[in-house]
Amino acid sequence: MLSFTFTFLFGAISAFAAPGTVGRGCGNHPSIGQVAKAEAQYVKELASQGLTPESFGNFTTAAATKNIKVYWHVIRSGNSLSQGNIPNSQITNQISVLNKAYAYCGYSFTLAGTDWTTNTNWFNLAGPDSTYQTAMKSALRKGGAKDLNIYSVGFTSGTGEGLLGYATFPSDYAGNPRDDGVVMLYSSVPGGSMAPFNLGYTAVHEVGHWCGLYHTFQGGCSGSGDQVSDTPAEASPASGCPTWRDTCSSMPGVDPVHNYMDYSDDGCMNEFTYGQCTRMNGQLSTYRGL
């Protein structure tokens, strides 16, 4: 089912919170009407090309065929690891996790550049809709619509306090190119200190939004959910790894707790579905030219 945590259209953020109470949490919740409007625009854009959302199902699963350049911006408040000064080795390992997760859908990621910026305000206060994240992105973003910019920060206070990450949606790019990208907690990278969210799947989840995916629990047990037919309906986000969970028992399938677009612990996540790959392909082709 569909998860959408962006403010239409989509200005534009999916927020993914660290475990302040139970598991992960979502900061933004668009209305059914906002999602419907966004999807109607997507279908309209495809129709103008003689296409439908199902037109993008022919992708290569054996080997990644479309490469995405990654520009990583390390935001730190000082020189220690606890101040966000993550080493190259953790960034390299994060790219490897992304490559493993997205290979099934036919995508690979190459680190095109890394920079380090010491800015206490950006590290602590960069968050959704804040002036700090706007300044940070305006100063540092590189490349075009096809290029993924990742900003690792601390989320210690302000609008981002407690978050694991947030991301912009492909359809946001045309309206605000400088805002495009993923902002994530520095300690959620592989080997970071944010257990049980330190295997690198925060980035996988947020990049999923950057590629056009919604959460698996979007819309709950009714409606068209995440616009993906092969992710079972889910009433609410999962926490931990409840493999027995079935919150929409009147509908086919148990909850997709292993899906990268749910809120399970990192150790529980291990899949995208064929339908999610199809949606990614359509979104990335339509809005990012990939």
d(CA 66, CA 60): 10
CA distance 255 to 110: 33
**CA-to-CA dists, residue 97 to 91, 103, 199, angstroms:** 10, 10, 8
d(CA 41, CA 191): 40
Q: Does 206 participate in catalysis according to the annotation? A: yes
Q: What angle do CA 148, 210, 163 make, to 5 degrees?
A: 100
Instruction: State both tokens at 90.
Output: 């953790």
Query: How far is Cα 154 from Cα 171, in angstroms, rounded to an integer?
Result: 27
Question: Which bin fits 276, alpha (ψ -120 to 50), beta or left (φ > 0)?
Answer: alpha
Element spanning 15, H or E: strand 14-17
Total number of residues shown for the chain: 290
Q: Largest Cα–Cα distance in the chain?
A: 53
Which residue type, as a one-letter code, is found at position 19?
A: P
Contact 127, 49 (CB under 8 A): no
Which of 62, 68, 64 lies closest to 109 in space, CA to CA?
Answer: 68
Residue 226 · residue 2 · CB < 8 Å: yes
Strands of the sheet containing 107-118, edge to edge, are 14-17, 163-167, 182-185, 148-153, 66-76, 107-118
**Out of 54, 206, 234, 271, which one is annotated catalytic?**
206
Tokens of 69: 């350049």
Q: Which residues are catalytic?
A: 206
